[in-house]
Amino acid sequence: MTQTLKTKVLIIGAGTGGYVAGIRCGQLGLDTILVDGGDGLGGTCLNVGCIPSKAIIHAASKFETVAKAADGGTLGITASKPAIDLKATMAWKDGIVRKLNGGVAALLKKAKVKVINGWAEFSDAKTCTVKTDDGDITISAEHVILATGSEPVELPFLPFGGDVISSTGALALDAVPNRLVVVGGGYIGLELGIAYRKLGAEVAIVEMADRLLPLYDKALTDPVAKWLEKHGVELHLGAKAGSFEKGALNVTDKDGKALQLKADKVLVTVGRRPRTKGWGLENMGVAMAGPFVKIDDRCATSMKTVWAVGDLTGEPMLAHKGSAQGEVVAEIIAGHDKRFDPVTIAAVCFTEPEIVSAGLGPQDVQGRDDVITAMFPFMAIGRALALEAGDDGGFVRVLASKTDHRILGIQAVGQHVSELSNSFAQMLEMGAVLEDVAGTIHVHPTMGEAFHEASLRALGHAIHI
């Protein structure tokens, strides 16, 4: 017999957008059901994305440090040759994920959100049937929040399976491949490719564009390209991947020459797409914007009291965007006057070195003569030198209006710069001017001093350069 439930709010998807919306709905006293039919509480980010990948990146960096100590020493430190037990590393990573899963479950329980594990399919805009291990449950709701997230793009000539893996598969290997070929030179492919190079794999990257990370300007990506070259990562830019046969990936290089790249594993990271199939979206009557669900500045769809958040709604497909949207929707349903209208959504590439971008970049202001641009190198920052983070070409760059000094954009490349991203976003969100940053006493010695000095330089009086 099918069980029937009614609720004020029904949320589909337990990723960063869905579960945050659920917690906020619960805090606001809204009767809420959250249906989790995907990767588990926390969604892609927590289970097979942001968190586990950063754990593996951290482990890889530690391994690289020990390897340097064994290869002639580093900072006066020597060590014997290290070994990696990737099964144990993955078990450690899985432990982090389980701990965070448990934390999300506890927070949802505290907020009195009912969680149902199963796959939902909508028959109309406000009604779905969830297939669970204990039978079907039909749920009808006054408000529906769609937070189904995204999934890796699969190439028809390189279907996932066996030795052709997605980022999810790369985070579940039990041994370091001798040779890894990465198809796609975006941030996901580079993050994982660099991590496996640090762990000892021979790595090749195949990218259709003529340079890596094509969404970022060359000044930001050059330090990453230099790291790859220094560490023997094979780059095939302007190249097209083909089929994978008999342990080799067929590639056509930029000159039209056919190549075969030997590989134990082929990691395909050519992007992600919104998860719109298999749950009855076509029965809901919502308007689309290309492959995404169309929303307004309240995250409302074209169907009354149906909302959408996160990757389902378009670029940037970032976890923190989904979380912020989830909070906004919960508060709107509770009667608050809210809009999702951020000044910026900062983005981070956890490459080597890391890249941060917030607001406008040089490509956005090209040809304009009303913008000040100033850069400050980490090589002139004491903390960076003490962290071995001053000799990789890293810098902080500030863009501001010439007329009123309003900050328009901030970028950085260098080790540990991801920790500066919130400061960058905060200054832009507050509408700060250069004098605000210049007049803030920055702690010494820290990496953030480079932001201070870049702002001083834009005003014409940097101290340490």
| Confidence check: pLDDT of 371 > 80 | yes
pLDDT per residue as tens digits for the range 57-94: 999 999 999 999 998 889 999 999 999 999 999 999 99
**Average pLDDT, integer, range 131-137:** 94
Beta carbons within 10 angstroms of residue 136's beta carbon:
14
**Domains of the chain, start order:** 3-59+86-151+273-333 (3.50.50.60), 164-270 (3.50.50.60), 347-458 (3.30.390.30)
Gap between the Cα atoms of 462 and 421, Å rounded: 22
Please tell me the predicted confidence (pLDDT) of residue 38: 77
* Length of the chain in terms of residues written: 465
Please tell me the predicted confidence (pLDDT) of residue 39: 80
> And the tokens for 289?
């914007």
Gap between the Cα atoms of 271 and 328, Å rounded: 27
Q: How far, in Å, are 58, 231, 342, 377 from residue 416 at the CA level?
A: 12, 19, 25, 14
Gap between the Cα atoms of 327 and 78, Å rounded: 50
pLDDT per residue as tens digits for the range 320-368: 999 999 999 999 999 999 999 999 999 999 999 999 999 999 999 999 9
Please report which confidence band the pLDDT of residue 198 belongs to, taking 50, 70 and 90 as the band edges.
very high
| Confidence check: pLDDT of 113 > 90 | yes
Please tell me the predicted confidence (pLDDT) of residue 1: 65
| Confidence check: pLDDT of 213 > 90 | yes
CB 133 within 8 A of CB 118: yes
Task: Give the DSSP per-residue string, 374-406.
Answer: EEEEGGG-HHHHHTT-SSS--EEEEEEETTT-B
| Confidence check: pLDDT of 108 > 70 | yes
The overall average pLDDT reported for the chain is 97
Please tell me the predicted confidence (pLDDT) of residue 339: 98
pLDDT per residue as tens digits for the range 240-288: 999 999 999 999 999 999 999 999 999 999 999 999 999 999 999 999 9
pLDDT per residue as tens digits for the range 428-441: 999 999 999 999 99
Q: Is 444 a known active-site residue?
A: yes
> From the annotation, which residues make up the binding site for FAD?
54, 148-150, 311, 317-320
DSSP 108: H
- Given the residues 444, 452, 461, 464, select the one marked as catalytic: 444
Residue reference for tokens 């490719």: 193
Please tell me the predicted confidence (pLDDT) of residue 2: 82
Please tell me the predicted confidence (pLDDT) of residue 36: 95
Q: Phi/psi at 373 (nearest 5 deg)? A: -125, 130
Percent of the chain at pLDDT exceeding 90: 98
Class of residue 273 by CB neighbours under 10 A (exposed 0-12, middle 13-18, buried 19+): middle
